[in-house]
Amino acid sequence: MSDLAFILAAIVCIASAVLIVSRKNPVYSVVYMLPFFLGMTTLFVLLNATFLASIQMIVYGGAILVVFLFVIMLINLRPEELRDDFSLKSWFMTCVGAGLLAATLALFSQNGTTNEMEKSFYQPVAVQKDKTGADVVFGSIESIAHPLFNKQMVPFELASVLIVVATLGAVLLSKKRI
Amino acid sequence: MGFELPSILIADGGGLMNLKACLIVAVIIFSIGAWGVVARRNVLTVLISLELMLNAVNLVFASFARMHANMPHEAGNATAGENGQIFALFIIAVAAAEAAVGLAILITYFRNNETVDTRDMTELKQ
Amino acid sequence: MMEWIAHYLPARDVLESRMYLIPLFPLIGFLLNGLFGRKFDKKFSGFIGTLAALCAFIMAFMCVASLHEAENGRTAFHSSYGTWILTSELNCSFGLYIDKLSSVMILVVTGIGTLIHLYSMGYMAHDKSVWRFFAYLNLFLFAMILLVLGDNLLMTFVGWEGVGLCSYLLIGFWYEESKNAAAGMKAFVVNRIGDLGFLMGIFTLIAVFGTVNYVTAPVNGEKGNVTPQTTFDTVTKQVKMPENPGLLDYTEALRLKYGKGEKVELPEKAELPKYSAANVADPKDTVSIPLTMPKDLGKNLAALITLACICLFIGATGKSAQIPLFVWLPDAMAGPTPVSALIHAATMVTAGIYMVCRLHSLFAFSETALLLIAGVGAATALFSALIGLTQLDIKKVLAYSTVSQLGYMFVGLGAGVFSLGIFHVLTHAFFKALLFLGAGSVIHAMSNEQDMRKMGGLWKKLPWTFGTMLIGALALSGVPGTSGWFSKDNILANVLARYHDTHNVLYLVYYVMGITAALCTAFYTFRLIFLTFFGQNRSSEDVKSHIHESPWTMVLPLVVLAFFSLAGGFLYGGSFIEEKDALEHLGIRNVPYLEEHSLHGAHTLNLILTGLVAALGIGLAYFRYGKGNNVPDPEKSTNIAYKASLNKFYVDEIYDALIVFPFCVLAELLHWGMDMIAIDGIVCGTAEIVRNLSSVLKRIQTGLMNAYAFAILSGTVAFLIYLYMNSVAK
């Protein structure tokens, strides 16, 4: 059954991706971002990355999508300014790129991954025990928090610095008068 | 954990879902996003496609993290697979920051030049 | 007298180690005048120049006088001032060498040089760049001293080039007129062509003998410096050669070892014994060393020596104005008269003869080369004498006379009597310099008029000039008793004797040419005297009023030179004429005669002939021009021979058409073909290619962000494909 979920989620992702990049009106693109994020979330859950899935939905769907929408409203393009993009040359290049992609995928599906790598996917995730003897559920919030606050402390702090800087930067950049 | 996932969302192996499939999906989404960055004129669409690419990369990280989930752990290292997910977390954070700053730049540019068409943004031309 | 002077001189060692002062004084004069001359006033720069020359002369005189008494068997000063070239094949140093031959030359050079410096103080007094003149004159003296005193062929060549340079500088002294500059260029270029031959000769000698030194370097013995000589031990019948022999040592050894009687038969490859320099002989210690012979030049020693001699002689033709490279000398009269006197009469043009005499033992091996030298000399003598018959410019007559007399010197060298060649150099220096300086005095008096048609009747107004020039003319014509007679007559006698000796008809031909040239010489010399000094004065009133005798600075050298022209034969002839005297006083071994009495017979016949010819020439000249009539008028003459002679047999025009014109065409072709098309094409073409490429490539920078993103993407994809290919290949 999880196969069905996987296939559906994959189709949703790919279809909404195609729709995102091909709309003339950026508002439509943003609209189609939502099913895309939902599909991604499903995929993450299927991969036992539950915490990641929730963060993905909250941050992307709740913040980034909204920011994009705000900016589009701010820019306020009139419909006639949305000119048509596509020319013969770019269709040609697209076909070339698509062919390249198809070739790559074909090659990849033959000998891209080894059995050793695939082994884990054919079994359910076992619950392991950590040093203190407590259960470690893969992908849960505890199991992510442990490394995040111990071994990966520095990237964590740096990420927070990055976010602060980005906030300040965004505010500064978009002021009309400094 | 507080609640149990519905069984449809629990991948217990032995099905279509394997590493190869996840990676193929990720590559397809990445390519679509790359095409969007390269071939679209509207800067907003480009930025959105950029997010698409970042998401695809996130998927790749999560799949490889899952790969590590059942691999024998070395002594004392119970969280081998979580490193991938942590990195994916960071990527989300960075993507958010970059989207914010990028959009701020776009707004400023739009205020000065009244256009969001990349073909009109040729100040880098020699 | 020399012995009396020698008592008051410094010790020989001191003099020998101070030999560098001889060229140093003129060099200092050149530097002073050259660097600071602009600030000196005219008299002072002349004074510095003359003083430098005088100091060089005094130093040279002291060295020569002190050499007069041979001590320890040493008859030469030889000092070395540092190594120049030191390779496995050639060892050459800066050295000065005074032996009897160079002592003659150095006294001539510095003595006449000083006299002409003194003369120039008066002659160039009104010129605006006197300092430059004296600077160049001193530089010339420096180079000429290096030429004469150099102890190897390369030092001589340095001096050779230096005098060529100074000749160019001095001929084109008044360079504002393009005619003078062109004459200077012509001299330099023609000289250079000869220098190519000279260099080929040097290279051949290096290939054959491995050295350019004339003699081996002196070594310290117990009794002061001793120059080892090549000798023949009659006891052991061995030839002893010093270590590091020079060219003259090699040739002397070859002569001693392979001379049969006096005729030398050169082997293909010579085995020469070598001794240690201390001259301590132990016959068992001899080492046989073959002369170096390059494999691909053939193995014939005689042929190689002939080749070297001919090449060296080509150099001499350039410097000493023989056929075919004499064309620069008449044009060189565009320079000031003291220059003509010093360079083109007395010193520079004799460099070729000096070089041949220095290497006389080398030339004596090669009969072919000697015949060639004599032939070229005789032809030149006759040819330029014929041209001199009709010239109108007083200096041009003297120029062609110089070329002719140089031909005589080479005839003497080619007949094997090298000492007489040098003797003629000496006497010719005296009377030719005298004639040139006298002509300068006449020109000075006639307000720079050089055309003889406008002169005449000057003997009353310029008595001193007339008297001295008459003496010079007598000497030039070979009137018996004058120094010119001693040298020229003896040369011709030896040519005739050589004919009797070897029965080679070429010598007879040369003799006839020489006699004819002597006739022409007497004729045109006295034509010059009669046209200039006798008859009515044919110049304008303006010029006539300015005619005056020259100042004492100009007359004194004339008188001194006239004295030597008259007495030089008696004073010095003894050292040069008799063969034994030449060997003892000059160190030159003339090519000996097979039969002793061939010289006596020739002497008598020659005496009669030359006396006749001189008298005939003077008589004809008097008959035609003596009464002040028959002033030459080229426009009225229709005689073809006259016109040809007046236009110097169209030599310049022929050279122009045959040599200069093809060169100019070739130069133009190369300019367009190579320079403009090929080289400019390559260089500018490269620039064009870069420009076109860049104008194509600059379209990459569109400024479009999408394009840049695409570029990044495709680059990454390509790189990944490459990695994939690599990993698959493994």
CATH number of residue A50's parent domain: 1.20.120.1200
- Cα separation, A18 vs B39, in Å, equals 13
Q: Determine the average pLDDT of the residues in B93-103.
A: 94
Instruction: Give the three-state DSSP class for A22.
Output: helix
Mean pLDDT of all residues belonging to chain C: 84
Q: Determine the average pLDDT of the residues in C616-642.
A: 78
Residue C370 lies in a domain: yes
* Total tally of structural domains belonging to chain A: 2
pLDDT digits (tens, 9 = 90+) for C229-285: 777 777 766 777 777 778 888 888 888 877 776 677 777 766 665 554 444 444 444
Query: Are both C13 and C55 inside the same structural domain?
Result: yes
Q: Using a CB-CB distance cutoff of 8 angstroms, which residues of chain C are in contact with residue B43?
A: 705
- Cα separation, C686 vs C365, in Å, equals 59
Residue A109 lies in a domain: no
Please give the single-letter amino acid code of residue B66: R
CB contact under 8 A, C713 and B41: no
Residues in chain B, total = 126
pLDDT digits (tens, 9 = 90+) for C340-364: 888 877 777 889 999 999 998 889 8
Domain containing A144 equals: 140-178
* Total tally of structural domains belonging to chain B: 1
The residue that leads in pLDDT, C334 or C229, is C334
| Nearest beta carbon to residue B52 from set A17, A43, A44 | A17
Say whether pLDDT at C295 is over 60.
Answer: no
Instruction: Give the three-state DSSP class for C393.
Output: strand
Tokens 């690599």, located at residue: C726
Q: Determine the average pLDDT of the residues in A28-40.
A: 95
Instruction: Give the three-state DSSP class for C573.
Output: helix
| Nearest beta carbon to residue C701 from set B43, B118, B126 | B126
At C574 the pLDDT is 74
pLDDT band at B126 (very low <50, low <70, confident <90, very high): low
At C280 the pLDDT is 43
Q: Among C645, C677, C709, where does a domain finish? A: C645
pLDDT digits (tens, 9 = 90+) for B7-40: 777 776 667 888 889 999 999 999 999 988 888 8
Query: Are both C311 and C408 inside the same structural domain?
Result: yes
Residues in chain C, total = 730
Residue C707 token pair: 């394009």
Domain containing B109 equals: 42-71+78-119
Rounded to two decimals, the ipTM of the complex is 0.88
Residue A128 lies in a domain: no
pLDDT above 90: percentage of residues in chain C: 32
Q: Determine the average pLDDT of the residues in C441-455.
A: 84
CB contact under 8 A, A125 and B70: yes
The residue that leads in pLDDT, C579 or C321, is C321
Q: Which of C421-430, C493-502, C570-579 has the lowest mean pLDDT?
A: C570-579
The number of helices, as runs of H, and strands, as runs of E, in chain B is: 3, 0
Residue C158 lies in a domain: no
Question: Which of C401, C429, C425 lies closest to C413 in space, CA to CA?
Answer: C425
* Total tally of structural domains belonging to chain C: 4
- Is residue B9 within 8 Å of residue A42, measured between CB atoms? yes
Q: Determine the average pLDDT of the residues in C307-331.
A: 91
At C287 the pLDDT is 47
Domain containing C504 equals: 177-210+301-645
Neighbours of A, requiring at least 3 CB pairs below 8 Å, are B
Q: Using a CB-CB distance cutoff of 8 angstroms, which residues of chain B are in contact with residue A41?
A: none
pLDDT digits (tens, 9 = 90+) for C532-549: 888 777 777 777 777 888
- Is residue B67 within 8 Å of residue A120, measured between CB atoms? yes
B25 to chain C, any CB pair closer than 8 A? The answer is: no
Q: Among A77, A102, A121, where does a domain finish? A: A77
Residue C102 token pair: 């160079």
Neighbours of B, requiring at least 3 CB pairs below 8 Å, are A, C
- Is residue C249 within 8 Å of residue C277, measured between CB atoms? no
Distance of residue A157 Cα from the nearest chain B Cα, in angstroms: 11
Residue A160 lies in a domain: yes
Q: Among C630, C645, C660, where does a domain finish? A: C645
Q: Using a CB-CB distance cutoff of 8 angstroms, which residues of chain C are in contact with residue B119?
A: 704
- Cα separation, C526 vs B1, in Å, equals 141
Residue C163 lies in a domain: no
- Is residue C491 within 8 Å of residue C408, measured between CB atoms? yes
Residue B82 lies in a domain: yes
Residue C296 lies in a domain: no
Residue A55 lies in a domain: yes
- Chain B residue at shortest CA distance from C707: B38
- Cα separation, C120 vs C122, in Å, equals 5
Question: Which of C96, C56, C55, C103 lies closest to C79 in space, CA to CA?
Answer: C96
Q: Determine the average pLDDT of the residues in C131-141.
A: 93
Distance of residue C698 Cα from the nearest chain B Cα, in angstroms: 8
Burial class (CB in 10 A: 0-12, 13-18, 19+), C667: exposed
Residue C14 token pair: 């001191």
Residues in chain A, total = 178
| Nearest beta carbon to residue B92 from set A46, A55, A108 | A55
Instruction: Give the three-state DSSP class for C130.
Output: helix
In degrees and rounded to multiples of 5, residue C412 shows phi and psi of -60, -45
CB contact under 8 A, B11 and A6: yes
pLDDT digits (tens, 9 = 90+) for C364-400: 888 889 999 999 999 999 999 999 988 888 999 999 9
pLDDT digits (tens, 9 = 90+) for C149-202: 998 999 999 999 999 999 999 999 999 988 999 999 999 999 999 999 999 999
- Is residue B32 within 8 Å of residue B15, measured between CB atoms? no
pLDDT band at A22 (very low <50, low <70, confident <90, very high): confident
- Is residue C197 within 8 Å of residue C314, measured between CB atoms? yes
- Cα separation, C686 vs A167, in Å, equals 54
Residue A91 lies in a domain: no
Q: Using a CB-CB distance cutoff of 8 angstroms, which residues of chain C are in contact with residue B121?
A: 703-705
Residue C309 lies in a domain: yes
The residue that leads in pLDDT, B2 or C505, is C505
- Cα separation, C534 vs C622, in Å, equals 10
Query: Are both C556 and C625 inside the same structural domain?
Result: yes
Question: Facing residues of C95 across strands?
Answer: C80
At C70 the pLDDT is 62
- Cα separation, C64 vs C591, in Å, equals 26
CB burial of A55-81 (b: ≥16 within 10 Å; e: otherwise) equals bbeebbbeebbebbeebbeebebeeee
Residue C164 lies in a domain: no
- Cα separation, B53 vs B35, in Å, equals 10
Query: Are both C29 and C135 inside the same structural domain?
Result: yes
At B61 the pLDDT is 94
Burial class (CB in 10 A: 0-12, 13-18, 19+), C135: buried
pTM check: above 0.80: no
Q: Determine the average pLDDT of the residues in A158-166.
A: 95
Q: Using a CB-CB distance cutoff of 8 angstroms, which residues of chain B are in contact with residue C703?
A: 121-126
At C291 the pLDDT is 58
The residue that leads in pLDDT, C287 or C692, is C692
Query: Are both C569 and C660 inside the same structural domain?
Result: no
Q: Which of C276-290, C397-411, C563-577 has the lowest mean pLDDT?
A: C276-290
- Cα separation, B49 vs C103, in Å, equals 103
Q: Among C612, C627, C645, where does a domain finish? A: C645
- Cα separation, A40 vs C15, in Å, equals 110
- Chain A residue at shortest CA distance from B78: A130
